[in-house]
Structure 1
Amino acid sequence: MDGVPVLVLVGPAAVGKSTLGALVADRLGVPFVDVDELGDQYYVEVGWSIDRLVERATAVGRAAAEREWEPARAHAVCRVLDDHPGAVVALGAGHTSFTDPRMAGKVSRALSAVPHVALILPSLDRDDALVELRRRSLATKGTDWVASGHDFLAEWLDDKASRRVATLVVITDGEAHGATAGRLLDHVRKEIPPDQRVAPQS
């Protein structure tokens, strides 16, 4: 596990990646990294920022701006993985969903070195999952992720790339965050040598 994160969480918006990641990291006694919180420091390395994304969305529409932004998202993923070995990392929804196969390939290759990449979903049923994610997004972010007639939430949920990079799929199905984090922790700890395990923090 040296040189790479111990666990990366992927999945659509509002699925709980950040909450689960922080819980697992705390119990493992390792850092937690949320790409949505520090991505700007990496986007700027290739000439992007959230402000520029907003400007481009105003100029060309959100869907087109997201496509333009793909190289910056792929760059951020690779840099975060390099900079945070041993951490638990949550990737924002768009950071594993790409229309450009070159960017998808770049991220897939980077994630292939990570021992545990967990795709988090609220339900096995696609329609039920989308309804639940939409409800959570409206409640926590004030958006339904539909812009200019394009449904980003459905795009992220249906994206096959996220399933390809995942080493496991975790269905939360209304389960409490603590219980889901416990399942993730059990899975990760199976691969950690006993002398390197950290007791859960109280």
Structure 2
Amino acid sequence: MNALKHFGIFLLLLACVGLSGCVWSSILANSWSENFALASYGSEANHPALNDGRLDTVAAVAAKNERIFTLRFPEVKPVRKIVIHNVNLFWFHVDYWDLDKFEWKTVHSVRQLRDIGQERVPAEIVVDRLNCKTNTIRINVSRTVDDNVVTKVLLSPGDKVVDRRTTLAGAYYPHFRVIQPALAQVREVEVYHLVSK
């Protein structure tokens, strides 16, 4: 009988610890702010579809050697999480403007695998655990999955060389592998910070 009583007390304590764990986890859970990158909150983007709040629109940056998406907030905000709804970005950096040093600082670099299941790229990229305060972030795109790499014997001004080779089919034939950039495309960029419950 005494063992049964101790077992009952043990089960009661176990239930109390389990319930208190659930309560503490709900109290300590992260609570995110509203997406303050939206145009409706006063944020500006270099393409209107970048922060319109709709996933059915696509922001595209012209196919140049430098493809950058920029978001500017109406005031300095703490940034803890960035969500990028991706269309074709393959290799890019997420930067923020450091107001103290007046320079861009990279908070995250992404170089994705080309094939992820049946998708060409991940549809959503979450960059979290950030800790910076800024009024501007940018996505600096180096490569997209739609970029072509071509062989050229002579370089043109502005060509982005990815490889230099000296032979072709065993014969001496100096040539260059050059990127022909495509449009960089993003559906939406969301930016959040932590708020107290």
Regarding TM over 0.5, the answer is no
Greater percentage in strand = 2
TM-score scaled by structure 1? 0.26
TM-score scaled by structure 2? 0.26
Relative contact order higher in (CA < 8 Å, ≥ 6 apart): 1
Greater percentage in helix = 1
